[in-house]
Structure 1
């Protein structure tokens, strides 16, 4: 079966990581699958090529060049002759549909919706138009996949075809996030953490829905009470002098923070953490929460998207958009003994292994693809 995956872009993000992991996990042989990015190679293009897959970057922009990108994608489709086109994210879904419409041998089309949708009006105007176009065309694909039950419900209430919808959660490679004492020592040393420090981690690109400001305010609240905490923050554009974050951390408290920017070795840095915090104000399926749990970290997370389903009883959930509630949640975790936190971390890792293992998720995709192609 030839698979062609069409994604909006390949920069660092949850959808891009999910596609990479599926291909890495054996969803397809490199000779029978290819990836088309409507924009550029980003950070995942080279990584997918390293797996042996062809990656085509069409260099479109969010303007009138999008129809040109679709035409280019259609030409690639005719050359590749896919049995199935998998769209990823709203623009990728549209391109998958249009390419299939003009194909000589129409392939099966599957969509993948990767975000929550709390308020359509809050989206950028161009994004609203693309989401509406997805809604109008949502009966055309044979399946519309969501990575969270919340996202499916939100989109189907907007008008996405419910008969096509199904949820396949993200999958995680437990080996990649396995606890490792050597990596723990190395990253703690690089962060300047002492044995007595409790390292609290946060990983997210700077975006309003990640609510870094809420996290920083909760950190300042706790640092006014105790000084054995070290906050390690990873993410593109996440620095204390960024206009969105400037002035939140009082200068005397800056020494309790380590800002690492965007990193490709997040799994290593998670080994050096003692707990993890997700502060998002909205999410669908927060990958980073599951990655932290797979790393054996006790987690405090805001109750958004499918966070409650991911964390179960192996962590602490708090209200979103409430820095005081977040500080109280972290404080409750800090009040546990080190042995209790470690036991919670082991339970978190077991939960990811049981419910979100990569092999099981790859098999669900593979089985769906085979069923759809054989029944067309």
Structure 2
């Protein structure tokens, strides 16, 4: 079966990384994948090519107004002649879905990887695309895959066809993300820290929804109780060159306790070095960093954004969105566990990922999704 993935772009992000994991674990005896990016190829394109997967770009620069790009997309789809088209993210859902339908493809599935559509956090153009997708959802896609239950509910509220929605969570590779004492030691050595220093991490790009300013406030509250804690931050634009980021940390009085590492390619190593992973987000769907930390045996203190509280369950701590003092308390509780309690909790955390979010099983659910797309008999419960 030929499966064509159409995605808005291939820069580093949660949805894009999940696409790579699907491609890595897809059963190639049954499925032949292709990838088309609407925007110019980003840094993840070489990783896809290295998997032996054809990846091409439409090189669209004008969004909905780029008719030449749309025609190019239509031609690519006709050339590939896929059995299934799975689109990822709003622009790809709309443009990829329309192009696939015009190319004669009936088995079209949309992909939703966002749950915050608040006006102050989402661009006007994106919200306009969402409204168009809601209008077309009753007839354009055969099924709509959401990576989280919260995202499913929010999009139904926005007018998406509820009867077409299915939920498949993100998945995680427990061989790649795992406890590693060597990583714990080497990261502290890299940062010039003593081996017994407690390290709290926030991994994610610099974006309003990630709420870095809120995290720094929570860090400030935590330092009042535990002044020796250090904070490791990594992700796109998380670097000393980002003056806005540094000012946020300075305003909260935590700059001297922070390490800004920028975009890294050793995230499994960084995760395994942490004592706690924090998520201060105002908006999420299914944050990959939580599953990655948990697979590494690291407890998470999170805001209840998207499915975050569901993901960490009873082996983490969750607080209301915006409650940074509560987030500080949650981090402190996890940091103050005894060594025996930490070890027991670490094992339970990793088992939760194995039971609910192991990548091989999640990709089997994706494969079931593609099979159901070819069957014109409505949604299925996977």
TM-score bracket relative to the smaller structure: over 0.9
CA contact (8 A) 2:275 2:335 kept: no
Gapped regions of structure 1 (runs ≥ 5): none
Distance 1:299 1:128 in 2: 31
> Using the alignment, how far apart are the partners of 2:27 and 2:310 within structure 1?
25
Whole-angstrom CA distance in 1 between matches of 2:41 and 2:105: 27
Structure 1: distance between partners of 2:50 and 2:30: 10
- Assess, with a 3 A threshold, how the Cα gap between structure 1 residues 208 and 215 changes in structure 2: closer, same or farther: same
Give the SS at the match of 2:67. Answer: helix
What is the match of residue 257 of structure 1? 258
Q: Distance in 1 between matches of 2:251 and 2:211?
A: 18
- In the alignment, the residues of structure 2 paired with residue 123 and residue 39 of structure 1 have an alpha-carbon distance, to the nearest angstrom, of 19
Aligned to 1:176: 176
Following TM superposition, by how much is the alpha carbon of 1:309 offset from its aligned partner in structure 2, in angstroms?
1.3
Aligned to 1:331: 332
Question: How far did residue 305 of structure 1 move?
Answer: 0.8
- Bigger mean CA deviation after superposition, 274-283 or 333-342: 333-342
Cα offset for 1:335?
2.4
Distance 2:125 2:57 in 1: 21
Unpaired runs of 5+ in structure 2? 378-382
The equivalences for 1:1-376 within 5 A come to 1-28=1-28, 32-63=32-63, 65-103=65-103, 105-119=104-118, 122-139=121-138, 140-239=140-239, 241-249=242-250, 253-375=254-376
Deviation at 1:278, TM superposition (A): 0.9
Distance in 2 (alpha carbons) for counterparts of 1:45 and 1:198: 36
Using the size of structure 2 for normalisation, the TM-score is: 0.92
Cα 1:90–1:304 change in 2 (3 A) is: same
Q: Any idea what the Cα deviations from partners look like across 1:169-213, whole Å, max 9, x if unmatched? A: 111111110222333322221122212200111101011110111
Structure 1 residue 318, shift from structure 2 partner: 1.4
Q: CA deviation at 1:96?
A: 2.2
1:75 and 1:294 mapped to 2: Cα distance? 42
- Whether contact under 8 Å (1:278, 1:302) holds in the other structure is yes
Deviations 1:82-105 (A, max 9, x none): 0010010001111222112221x4
For residue 196 of structure 1, give the secondary structure of its aligned residue in structure 2: coil
Distance verdict in 2 for CA 1:117–1:273, change over 3 Å: closer
CA distance in 1, matches of 2:163, 2:212: 37
Stretches (4+) displaced over 6 A: none
Q: Partners of 2:11 and 2:228 in 1: how far apart?
A: 35
| Cα distance change of structure 1 residues 165 and 285 upon mapping to structure 2, 3 Å threshold | same
- Contact 1:297 1:342 (C-alpha < 8 Å) held by counterparts: no
Equivalent residues of 1:30, 1:53 under 8 A apart: no
Normalising by structure 1, we get a TM-score of 0.94
Secondary structure of 2:321 counterpart: coil
Please identify, of 186-195 and 124-133, the stretch whose mean Cα deviation from structure 2 is larger: 186-195
* Structure 2 CA distance for aligned equivalents of residues 66 and 354 of structure 1: 45
CA pair 122-334 structure 1, distance change in 2 beyond 3 A:
closer
Distance change >3 Å, CA 150–CA 41, structure 1 → 2: same
* Separation in 1, partners of 2:192, 2:70: 49
- Given that 1:286 and 1:307 are in contact with CA atoms closer than 8 Å, whether structure 2 keeps it comes out as yes
Q: Distance in 2 between matches of 1:62 and 1:154?
A: 28
Equivalent pairs, count:
375
Q: What root-mean-square deviation, in Å, do the aligned CA atoms of Structure 1 and Structure 2 show?
A: 2.1
* Other structure's SS at 1:261 match: coil
Q: Which of 340-349 and 108-117 deviates more?
A: 340-349
Aligned equivalent of 2:380: none
Q: 1:117 to 1:213 in 2, by over 3 A?
A: closer
**Cα separation, 1, equivalents of 2:184 and 2:245:** 31
